[in-house]
Structure 1
Amino acid sequence: MWDRLLSSKRVGAESAFRSSCESRDNFHKDYDRIIFSHAFRRLSKKTQVHPLSKNDHVHNRMTHSLEVASVGRSLGLGAGKVLKAKKIPVDPYQIAYIVQTACLAHDLGNPPFGHAGEDVIKVWFRENVERLPDMDETQRNDFRHFDGNAQSFRIVTQLENYLYNGGLRLTYATLATLVKYPFSSNECKKREKSKFGYFQSEKELFDRIFDALGLRNDDGSYRRHPLSYLMEAADDICYALLDIEDALELGIVRWEDVEEIFFKLTGESKVREILSSKGLPPSHLHSKIIAFAITHLVDEGMETFEREYDRIVSTGLESDLVACFDNRALREGLQEAKDFGVASIFSNRRNVELELGAYSIIKTILDALVDAACRHAQNEKLSFYQKKALMLMGEKSPLKLRPANTYEAIQRVVDYVSGMTDNHAHHVARQLKGVFSGVE
């Protein structure tokens, strides 16, 4: 089983270039391909939670992804040792690389302005369904339920590096570990999920990968790769706790507001011991408390993977790994941290104000580009404004690489918008409105 699950087969042909250097194995190469990619570099200018923050200590998508990858590596190494103890012939460090790389890539498809950007794209297409002609319902759902997870899969398999020819050409094992939701947008309603794992444009590729890894169920559906639960747990741990750290840094919440959460996660005696330390600023003390919490959660995550192993590899879990924690304090503490983020951090007045601005920015761009791309795909004449707007998209513009149909044309626009940094989206929206800075 694991010889299939750890397949090093790559998407796309590899004949173009082969390195003579054998110092890196295939999964190490996957990691390097993500790190050196343009899509990963852009994460440094994309919002995690707090849009356009001027505080350099606050997380952006890149620092978040690096921290998730660090936690994921620890979970992966622990899982590798569990497999080794079961006499499964694996290298624990290869498992660590696979999980670490999937963690690095998990947010590549997220649009500018954090979760607000993702919501704006969905809302825009739901409000403008008449702008989605010549498509079946499944294709429309890709836009009405737009998901950064599916966009991440599209980036690494199609858009980055080898355009429409394998993307980053990652291994099957890494790609499957990246997928939290092994179904399409068409399944969202039936499964009562708002998330999904791939667009219709990548369906054939997705099926090929998951079939090769032996992840198809008897009913034709797919189950998750066992290592994807570790990637998801790493993300859950980091965003729940480090969003709180950012909120403390920005003065949005007080330590007293979250102390009870960390009594559960770190231990009350340890929290009080750290807070009594002399000579360190509060932010350093809070970071130390959070670090202990992460350590406890990682240890519990590895124990849970070992305990739930048979279920994970046979049918998969009905929920995530964290929900299966035996330690009630850790399980409830992490959930309380997530709930606190939704209630007190995401809804902070400044964030809401900036999210309204994000809506205006992304709406301006979609208003200008979607109609133009559709008209071009249908061989209709473009206005001067529409043609110039499409030219802003650069080498991936429909003007440069003609789309086969309307679905593909709109995907190009969504690829462009979701790939933008916060600053670039703001700049392009101003250009489309005819607002220029620095003009004398």
Structure 2
Amino acid sequence: MSEKKATLWSESRRPRSGQEKAQSTATTAAVDDSDKLSWRSVFQQDYDRLLFSTPVRRLSDKTQVWPMDDNDGVRTRLTHSHEVANLARSLGSRIATQEATLFDADLNHVIQPILWAIGLAHDLGNPPFGHQGEAAMGRWFEDRDSWIFSQASEDSEVCFLERISVEQQLEFTKFDGNPQTLRLVTRLQTHAYGLGLDLSAATLAAMLKYPVSAKNRNKKKPAHKKVGYFETERDIVEWIRNETGLKEGQRHPLTWIMEACDDVAYSILDVDDVMKKGIASPEDILSQMGAEEALKNHACVEKIKNAFGRVDAAKHSVFVARDIKIGYMRAYLMEALLDEAANNFIDNAKDIFSFKDGILPILEESDLCNFLKEVAKDHAFSNPGVLKSEAIGAQAITEIMSFFWASIVNREEVGDIKSRRTTAASKFAWSLVSPNYIEEAARCIKEGTPPQRIRYAEMRLLTDMVSGMTDSFSMKLWSDIQALPKC
């Protein structure tokens, strides 16, 4: 039998071993005999597995920009993710239509479903309260840097024989949702053989936005500026690379498309939310665009002006006219940015497919995209209501992490993560930890495991639990924690 060739479009799923592999093969054969799924490609199955997963549903109660907003029309992390998925599919189709041989893979069965899948999954690892939640989690570890990476406890003088490496410390002090996403879909979701959602190698490769470990993180290179995967998932990343032929630092070509669509979504659609909330009017945004030297002659500006003129001539009520104008602005801006992204991807395709070092994101130098990001920054991210909610959320996460940390470390047996908790509060907190997260921690913590590796696994369990929470759950839990007697 000839050796299988690595390919960017690898349909392989992670292997089972021994009896598990035999059972899985027998089960698959039985299913295939009774229910042929040949119409559904491996990558369409990947998308379906993600769509029906619990972490995707939790995104409906996670912040995009406006935490727990009363306006149902304002985006959550779930609506944002669906929009990114749809934009990614559209952009991939546009590129494939313009350059039919570029991908060397079927558009309907390979390219589109992978883009749908990675667009839907790209924010799954984000904690409550978005990027401010990530920052709060990182600060919690930074504030305990003097002891948490090197000794048994803050009050203990017992030090580990080997301090947790500087690189691994970055996984916590610079906590990021991207590597947590990979961990979530490959480790933490329940599976008979511990394979998470059991996604294909190509989908997982394209999901890896920053294809570097903490050791190779490089803030000067956009594609390497953050930790892309944790040490716990190194074996999975090695398997992905063996299947796809990718190496450390090399991005899957479809990742560039997903990243661009994330830029399109949060630049245009965050501004869309600003207009829906009445913070700025469509006319305000159009006026600002017209005042920008780089944009005043942009084709979409003229299209928006003409559309607004037609709306005014129709003499709708003020609120109806506003909503129609918002729709026109969104559509024309989206068309302009997708067209720009498609052209930039095609122009840089040679470098992208040869994995040239130092490539910029394909909308990095877009005047229109950068203008919209600035508008969102001025009107959304700097809004007092948003800043207040972020401050409350950050404080909630800080206290929740301390609450769960006590439940993790206050146990009878250091080498047994499941051993009895030693305080009432710890027992309560431990009862809230997801059983599948505990199982994954137990796999890493056993009798005889070195103290620094136990500590690493304990911290990983902490970030697993907190990052998986929704905004509402974390606020309710924070309220419960504050009501507990202090002792």
Q: Secondary structure at the match of 1:281?
A: helix
- Of the three residues 278, 290, 293, the one matched with 2:330 is 290
| Deviation by residue 1:190-218 (Cα, 9 ceiling, x = unmatched) | 647652211111112112212331222xx
Contact 1:233–1:321 (CA under 8 A) maintained in structure 2: yes
Q: Which residue is 2:243 aligned to?
A: 212
The 1:166–1:287 alpha-carbon spacing in structure 2 relative to 1, beyond 3 Å, is same
The 1:333–1:390 alpha-carbon spacing in structure 2 relative to 1, beyond 3 Å, is same
Q: Which residue is 1:132 aligned to?
A: 149
Q: Which residue is 1:96 aligned to?
A: 112
Unaligned ranges ≥5, structure 1: 325-330
Q: Which residue is 1:177 aligned to?
A: 206
CA distance in 2, matches of 1:91, 1:170: 19
CA distance in 1, matches of 2:8, 2:363: 22
- Of the three residues 313, 331, 344, the one matched with 2:379 is 344
- Of the three residues 385, 389, 398, the one matched with 1:363 is 398
Contact 1:69–1:100 (CA under 8 A) maintained in structure 2: yes
Q: Indicate the structure (1 or 2) with the bigger Cα radius of gyration.
A: 2
355-364 vs 269-278, which moves further = 269-278
- Of the three residues 234, 237, 257, the one matched with 2:261 is 234
The 1:194–1:37 alpha-carbon spacing in structure 2 relative to 1, beyond 3 Å, is same
- CA positional deviation for 1:99: 1.1
- CA positional deviation for 1:255: 3.4
- CA positional deviation for 1:401: 5.9
CA distance in 2, matches of 1:231, 1:29: 19
The 1:77–1:282 alpha-carbon spacing in structure 2 relative to 1, beyond 3 Å, is same
Q: Which residue is 1:6 aligned to?
A: 9
Q: Which residue is 2:364 aligned to?
A: 323
Q: Which residue is 2:470 aligned to?
A: 421
Contact 1:374–1:406 (CA under 8 A) maintained in structure 2: no
| Pairs aligned (count) | 425
The 1:334–1:131 alpha-carbon spacing in structure 2 relative to 1, beyond 3 Å, is same
- CA positional deviation for 1:289: 1.2
- CA positional deviation for 1:11: 2.7
Unaligned ranges ≥5, structure 2: 151-159, 446-453
Q: Which residue is 1:328 aligned to?
A: none
393-402 vs 414-423, which moves further = 393-402
The 1:37–1:261 alpha-carbon spacing in structure 2 relative to 1, beyond 3 Å, is farther
Structure 2: which amino acid aligns with 1:354? Answer: S
| Deviation by residue 1:71-111 (Cα, 9 ceiling, x = unmatched) | 0001122333456335x642112211111110000010111
The 1:77–1:247 alpha-carbon spacing in structure 2 relative to 1, beyond 3 Å, is same
Contact 1:390–1:398 (CA under 8 A) maintained in structure 2: no
The 1:367–1:58 alpha-carbon spacing in structure 2 relative to 1, beyond 3 Å, is same
Give the superposed CA RMSD: 2.6
CA distance in 1, matches of 2:137, 2:206: 26
- CA positional deviation for 1:162: 2.0
Structure 2: which amino acid aligns with 1:433? Answer: Q
Do residues 36 (structure 1) and 21 (structure 2) align?
no
Q: Secondary structure at the match of 2:100?
A: helix
Contact 2:282–2:322 (CA under 8 A) maintained in structure 1: no
Superposition map of 1:301-320 within 5 A: 301-316=341-356, 318-320=359-361
- Of the three residues 208, 218, 223, the one matched with 2:250 is 223
CA distance in 2, matches of 1:3, 1:238: 33
CA distance in 2, matches of 1:260, 1:240: 17
Superposition map of 1:23-422 within 5 A: 23-81=39-97, 84-85=100-101, 89-93=104-108, 94-129=110-145, 130-133=147-150, 135-162=164-191, 165-188=194-217, 191=220, 195-216=226-247, 221-260=248-287, 264=295, 267-276=300-309, 277=311, 278=314, 279=316, 280-316=320-356, 318-323=359-364, 331-376=366-411, 378=414, 382-396=422-436, 398=438, 402=442, 403-404=444-445, 405-422=454-471
Q: Secondary structure at the match of 1:85?
A: coil
CA distance in 2, matches of 1:67, 1:120: 27
Contact 1:5–1:173 (CA under 8 A) maintained in structure 2: yes
The 1:399–1:12 alpha-carbon spacing in structure 2 relative to 1, beyond 3 Å, is closer
Using structure 2 for the length normalisation, give the TM-score.
0.81
**Percent of residue pairs bearing the same amino acid type:** 30
- CA positional deviation for 1:288: 1.7
Contact 1:111–1:417 (CA under 8 A) maintained in structure 2: yes
139-148 vs 28-37, which moves further = 139-148
117-126 vs 29-38, which moves further = 117-126
